[in-house]
Structure 1
Amino acid sequence: MKKLLLLFVCTLLSLSIGAADKQSIRINTDNIDLILQVSPKNRLYQVYLGEKLNSTADFDHFNWNIYAGSDGAYGIRGREAYPGSGGEDMFEPALAITHADGNQTTYLYYKKSTQKAVPGGTETIIELADDKYAVQVTLHYVAYMKENVIKTWSEIKHNEKSSIILWRYASGMFYFNSSKYFLTNYHSDWAREGQPAVQQLQFGKKIVDTKLGTRAAEQSEPFFEIGFDQPAQENQGRVMLGTIGWTGNFSFTFEIDNVNCLRVIPAINSYASNYKLKAGENFKTPEFIFTLSENGTGQASRNLQNWARRYQLWNGEGNRMTLLNNWENTAFDFTQETLALLMKDAKELGVDMFLLDDGWFGNKYPRKDDRAGLGDWEPTRTKLPGGIPALTKATETAGVKFGLWIEPEMVNPKSELYEKHKNWVIELPNRETYYYRHQLVLDLSNPEVQDYVFSIVDRLMTENPSIVYFKWDCNSPITNIYSPYQKANQGNLYIEYVRGLYKVLDRIQAKYPKLEMMLCSGGGGRCDYQALKYYGEFWPSDDTDPYERLYIQYSMSKFFPSKALAAHVTNWNRRTSIKFRTDVASMCKLGFDLDLKTMKPEDYKFTQDAVTNWNRLKNVILDGELYRLISPYETHHMAVNYVSQDKKKAVLFAYDLHPRYSEPQQAVRLQGLDANRTYTVKEINLMPNTTSALHCNGQRYTGDYLMKVGLMVLSAYESASRVLELTAE
């Protein structure tokens, strides 16, 4: 009888909720709709996320699964936009608070929403509040119309009588209904970044996270793709790409509930981070960035790449410099004179800049290896008697620009900084110290340490204003996790460390807005879109073996534009030709890190010509639309092509990795061209005194033919590569 009565009440409630009772909040791009609705009891729910709807009149047709909540409210079961802990929803919450009185239950009610124009789109701001506790949450959604990207974050504040403890604090929560869900997440180790793992999600939770603090490789990477009904495909099917802008511990939770609804919850990882929030303070969560595509991963990638170049990446629509690095050539063993010679090599090669890597600093404890000197950022007098000024002068004489390696967040115990300021170091006071790579991490949650790290860059730039580039490394995770500065608030350390880093970077950017920096972290340990507001590029991996780099660059290209991916030609895997290694690096932001003087004359001439070609075509490669044509994960080959925004130019990169013996080859069909234009095909990056063996070289084809029939550019030869330039008439 009670069940029948409850069913009758729910039916009456369902009938009473008509169009007039539904307040809809529409967050949309050209192709995506995210629709939220407010229930009569002022709870906020997601009712739709998917392909854009043509008519707002259809918003009234969304069916609500009505139930009576424990607080007397009613709404949609399992679809609350930002659910708190302790309520009627028994799944993972977006927000969990221990209030000042010890209560751990939070209910959020809708207060108001506003919208405002921002560059490229519209920001929707929604205010929620608990009716029993002085807690307010503001949800932010920025929808970029043409790029079909949505960026979201939340802000949490309170005015309770004393501090509250946050133990869940998501950037948002998103719901999907489909028959099946296939997750591709990317795991990592040193020299093995961007490794995809594909699995079908089942009932329960799948968590992808890191606990490294500074996030220095060896775990998970901060991006994922979801295929709906089938594993994500390149050119067809519904796909979501998502990534979080947080240079620290992050967490992605993928939870399928009892009715096969998928919840996606991006957040800071709350591991060891029960955050004490004082009254009146504002806790801002990281930005979560995502896009949806009905035409596979390829279109979703181009959405993110276009968005990043226009709105997120530092100098995203600006230039990038080619460079010669000394690390693979000299390591720690160099002098002022040997560096001056390398600067001349950089000029002869045709690159824009010479980059001095690790090993230039420390006097009491000279930097002869990785065991000493970190923290003492004074040039080693025995190596560099003229200091950095002599090096910048030498680059000016050579006719190139000057860049410098630093690792300012770290310290070696064998350093003057550690001797003078041990209280600036994250280190346990009562246990034996564990050293990762013979170093420790400075406590950037401490404002004094922030001032010191800023002063490293500031002093170098003040004394040497012609420095144009820093390679900012970060080789250690946070170990010995204890902050002398946080004292009783150790749960705040991981978060305040990252915020401290951003405060330093804000100061650097404000004072030196044109200073270009590379984001490096033991290879590809840092690659998030919050850090990339300050850095023009990142180093995807220390592994520059061209075979492995193709896999890594293919994975990274799904989430980042090519101008953000630094790729250097090195001597890793000398069994491959200089042409193959250079062609692999040329599909991203090109650099070199090898001894030019030991090269064969024909190899050296090839690299000079390749730099000339890359500089001529860099606007297509760095700012054009990317199409992944053949995956190395599925075949023994790889191919991509870039097309300029006006479709007048295109560049095709084709690589043979490890083909089978006498393997039959298929034509490579290009994408993104203008079908009605005619393109002339020319093979470039040829070795000196050789001519192209390709039948298509010098031929004219319509874009239609190139996209439907294609070109025979692959071979059965191991480590072979071809670069084709296409020019529209």
Structure 2
Amino acid sequence: MKVLLWVLTLLFTTFFPAGAAPGDRHIVIETQRTALVIRVDQAGDPTIVHLGPRLQRTDEYAGVPENGKRGEDYTTIYNSAYTPAGGRNLLEPAIQAIHADGNPSLDLKYVRHETRNEADGVVLTTVFLKDPQYPFEVSLFYKAYQKEDVIEQWSSIRHSEKKPVRLQKYASANLYLPAQRYYLTNFSGDWAREMNPQEVELTAGLKVLDTKLGTRAHLFQPPSFLLSLNRPAEEETGEVVAGTLAWSGNFQLQFEVDPLKNLRVIAGINPYASEYTLAPGKELVTPALIFSYSNMGKGAVSRNLHRWARKHRIPQGEGNRLTLLNNWEATYFDFNEEKLSALFKDGKKLGVDLFLLDDGWFGNKYPRNDDHTSLGDWEENKQKLPHGIGYLVKEAESAGIRFGIWLEPEMVSPKSELYEKHPDWVLKLPNRPEYYFRNQLVLDLTNPKVQDFVYGVVDNLLTKNPTLSYIKWDCNAVIYNAFSATNPNQQHLYVEYVQGLYKVLERVRAKYPTLPLMLCSGGGGRVDYGALKYFTEFWPSDNTDGLERVFIQWNYSYFFPAIATCNHVTDWGKQPIKFRTDVAMMGKMGYDIVVSKLEEKELAFSQEALKTYARLKDVIWKGDLFRLASPLTGDVASLLYVTEQQDRAVWFSYLVGNRYREGSQAPIRLKGLSPAKRYKVQELNIFPGTNSPINRNPVVLSGDYLMTVGFNPMVDARRASVVLEVTEER
């Protein structure tokens, strides 16, 4: 009998250790390499017991301990899948509500779950929770992209209480991770100095990243992070979670090391000034947290996000993009039809696909000759453009290139006809002075009439000019004066503004599904996958200094693919045009220069570079990115794009230091190639009148050699940027 009891005890502790018990239910969300496992105990509490590598046997998730708990969890819900406030919770909640009868607590119990295939390789799991004492329900959604190893998580909240419920917090996701140590990398900055990384070790307590800017909400920091477990992650080694919230407004990311030294991550809309009154029968759907886990370093999670974005999120993410010439630095506000027609010819001469007319083309009562007037008055300025936009479209097409235009339809100038006619359409406080950000105010997109107006600006322009080929959509002001004259609930303003924006963009995309749209917000003030559902590309920064852009583009690349990243060659910075061009090639290249002022060799170089880019762009846009040498830790930045077939690669290297004899003093090891294949290494983008020491002695080397020993791109002060093509020799 004792032997039998011993055997039964051994079996129980083997398969149900540290808190798992017979009757517990396991909800398994899996990708090719990753699993997130929710355990539902017999009391109906859903908790996360695993987020990490996928196990080969699904049944073994039942044997996972309570997520590495190292002591007594007084509540038993430290690792809740969606932590409710009130009741027995002692930590930061994911959701906080006050019921219609004034009760400020929630208790969310498991009801059921369902899993269905949404598309090839895309599986959606929905977990339904309910408060046992109130008709209050929460659904947790987990969309798993199998091949890309990405999970998209969001929540929906509804109730059927007799009166409205007040939601004081309503997060999108609630993750739980056990490790010995945690290292958080977040990114901060301001205009023209976006995406500066800081890595800190998280200690006991709560760290919060958030924004309260309303529009242009990411001006100071984006809703994106890297989280390394146990030790700071390297590029190709270490456990890493990369996360980014798909929301273009105020966000909040919370990282709490709990009393048992495990990490809780809560992400969603910032509840600041945004208590949400939810009426009976209505539903609030939160934005998605998109995340990827890998035990193969930062490079792996960023490649996962790139593949996911190209295939599943960004419009035409696996298609083509247009190179363009922008007039801004050539003319600023001072132009007319004659000047623009000359620039069309310059664009054709240079070799771009499209000419983009920037700010200053509109306004009659108040002409747009500087940035103090006219926003909202989207009619061609008759003095500058007497024949209208349609004439310019045809003139550009006659010159052999397409035509695009700049808009800032969410904004209004105090000195404008729109403001005079519809002051109630503007976000501004009663009985207070108006505060202006960049001499403008924000239109109230919570108002359906304003939504119709903003949509009409775009639709009218495209209806009148059906061959208009590109729109740059700008957003330069944050929300000062946060008050709506028409919204009955001011606490909904920040949330419903973004929802209103998305409604407009949905309508635009429904009617113009293939129109290229650039997401601009004074630079990186609005870069997220909520907006990038509608835009083909984004403008990372107004800072186009070639050296600065190496760093800015490097850090954006952790979350966003090259095909979506607009990089322009401009006159910012002191670097030669070759350096600026080589840096711009790292993504979707364009120009904002005065072509007529280029020297003969500079023009010839640029023309040839565009031809080279046309040949290489599919490798850069759709290849896997491998970062080889970081500008944050050394004198040289080096990165490589490799095709899925491993037959072609494009390798960029830049000198980022200026001390004596700095450069690539030794070979740089490549990554992502096939060890068995042999590759020819050849230099591209050689400036006229110079020679390449690499092309003088062409080399063919195995992938094994290039990844084990490496190759020196010979970067130094005389060769500050080097572009190499690595091609399989057949």
TM-score (norm 2): 0.95
Equivalent residue, structure 2, for 1:385: 386
**Cα contact 1:362–1:376 (8 A) shared by 2:** yes
**Cα contact 1:659–1:716 (8 A) shared by 2:** no
Cα separation, 1, equivalents of 2:696 and 2:601? 25
Output one character per residue of 1:390-423: Cα deviation in whole Å (capped at 9) or x when no partner: 1100111011111100000000010000000000
Cα separation, 1, equivalents of 2:37 and 2:20? 17
Equivalent residue, structure 2, for 1:21: 23
Output one character per residue of 1:563-596: Cα deviation in whole Å (capped at 9) or x when no partner: 11100000001x2100000000011100000001
SS in 1 for 2:172: coil
Cα separation, 1, equivalents of 2:662 and 2:474? 43
SS in 1 for 2:59: helix
Within 5 Å, give how 1:316-331 maps onto structure 2: 316-331=317-332
Amino acid at match of 1:571: D
Cα separation, 2, equivalents of 1:237 and 1:493? 41
Within 5 Å, give how 1:411-490 maps onto structure 2: 411-487=412-488, 489-490=489-490
SS in 2 for 1:220: coil
**Cα contact 2:376–2:409 (8 A) shared by 1:** yes
Output one character per residue of 1:670-724: Cα deviation in whole Å (capped at 9) or x when no partner: 1111111111111110112332122675321111111111211143317710111
Equivalent residue, structure 1, for 2:57: 55
The answer as to 2:590 corresponding to 1:591 is yes
**Cα contact 1:654–1:714 (8 A) shared by 2:** no
SS in 2 for 1:83: coil
Shift of 1:216: 4.6
Shift of 1:62: 3.0
Shift of 1:18: 6.8
Within 5 Å, give how 1:87-236 maps onto structure 2: 87-119=87-119, 120-236=121-237
Equivalent residue, structure 1, for 2:494: 494
Cα separation, 1, equivalents of 2:583 and 2:361? 30
Distance 1:132 1:437, change over 3 A: same
Cα separation, 2, equivalents of 1:724 and 1:122? 40
SS in 1 for 2:721: strand
**Cα contact 2:669–2:709 (8 A) shared by 1:** yes
Equivalent residue, structure 1, for 2:48: 46
Distance 1:21 1:649, change over 3 A: same
Output one character per residue of 1:614-642: Cα deviation in whole Å (capped at 9) or x when no partner: 01110000001111111100011101111
Amino acid at match of 1:169: Y
Shift of 1:61: 2.0
Cα separation, 1, equivalents of 2:64 and 2:702? 47
**Cα contact 1:135–1:160 (8 A) shared by 2:** yes
**Cα contact 1:216–1:474 (8 A) shared by 2:** no
Distance 1:503 1:698, change over 3 A: same
Cα separation, 1, equivalents of 2:524 and 2:651? 26
Structure 1 segments unaligned to the other structure (5+ residues)? 1-10, 68-72
Shift of 1:185: 0.3
Shift of 1:64: 4.5
**Cα contact 1:227–1:233 (8 A) shared by 2:** no
Output one character per residue of 1:433-453: Cα deviation in whole Å (capped at 9) or x when no partner: 111111000000000000000
**Cα contact 1:188–1:221 (8 A) shared by 2:** no
Cα separation, 2, equivalents of 1:582 and 1:109? 57
SS in 2 for 1:279: coil
Amino acid at match of 1:542: D
SS in 1 for 2:207: strand
Equivalent residue, structure 2, for 1:3: none
Equivalent residue, structure 1, for 2:510: 510
Cα separation, 2, equivalents of 1:557 and 1:141? 25
Amino acid at match of 2:609: A
Cα separation, 2, equivalents of 1:16 and 1:268? 35
Question: 2:35 pairs with 24, 30, 33, which one?
Answer: 33
Within 5 Å, give how 1:606-617 maps onto structure 2: 606-617=605-616
Within 5 Å, give how 1:78-93 maps onto structure 2: 78-93=78-93
**Cα contact 2:404–2:470 (8 A) shared by 1:** yes
Equivalent residue, structure 2, for 1:717: 717
Structure 2 segments unaligned to the other structure (5+ residues)? 1-12
Within 5 Å, give how 1:619-634 maps onto structure 2: 619-634=618-633
Cα separation, 1, equivalents of 2:19 and 2:397? 73
Amino acid at match of 2:589: L
SS in 2 for 1:319: coil
Amino acid at match of 1:378: E
Amino acid at match of 1:164: V
Distance 1:18 1:653, change over 3 A: closer
Amino acid at match of 1:583: D
Output one character per residue of 1:226-254: Cα deviation in whole Å (capped at 9) or x when no partner: 11111221111111100000010001000
**Cα contact 2:570–2:593 (8 A) shared by 1:** yes
**Cα contact 1:152–1:171 (8 A) shared by 2:** yes
Output one character per residue of 1:123-164: Cα deviation in whole Å (capped at 9) or x when no partner: 001111111111111110011111110000000011111111
Distance 1:20 1:385, change over 3 A: same
Within 5 Å, give how 1:256-335 maps onto structure 2: 256-335=257-336
Output one character per residue of 1:5-28: Cα deviation in whole Å (capped at 9) or x when no partner: xxxxxx9xx999875401110001
Amino acid at match of 1:206: K
Amino acid at match of 1:148: D
Cα separation, 2, equivalents of 1:255 and 1:696? 57
SS in 2 for 1:21: coil
Shift of 1:613: 0.4
Equivalent residue, structure 1, for 2:601: 602
Cα separation, 1, equivalents of 2:632 and 2:296? 20
Q: Which moved more, 1:495-504 or 1:101-110?
A: 101-110
Amino acid at match of 1:341: A
Equivalent residue, structure 1, for 2:558: 558
Distance 1:18 1:270, change over 3 A: closer
Amino acid at match of 2:204: F
Distance 1:141 1:217, change over 3 A: closer
Distance 1:564 1:447, change over 3 A: same
Distance 1:172 1:722, change over 3 A: same
Shift of 1:657: 1.8
Shift of 1:501: 0.2
The answer as to 2:676 corresponding to 1:676 is yes
Q: Which moved more, 1:719-728 or 1:596-605?
A: 719-728
Shift of 1:45: 1.1
Amino acid at match of 1:498: V
SS in 2 for 1:417: helix
Distance 1:623 1:18, change over 3 A: closer
Distance 1:280 1:676, change over 3 A: same
Shift of 1:44: 1.0
Identity of aligned residues (%): 48
Cα separation, 2, equivalents of 1:493 and 1:359? 30
Cα separation, 2, equivalents of 1:232 and 1:659? 28
Distance 1:688 1:696, change over 3 A: closer
Amino acid at match of 1:332: F
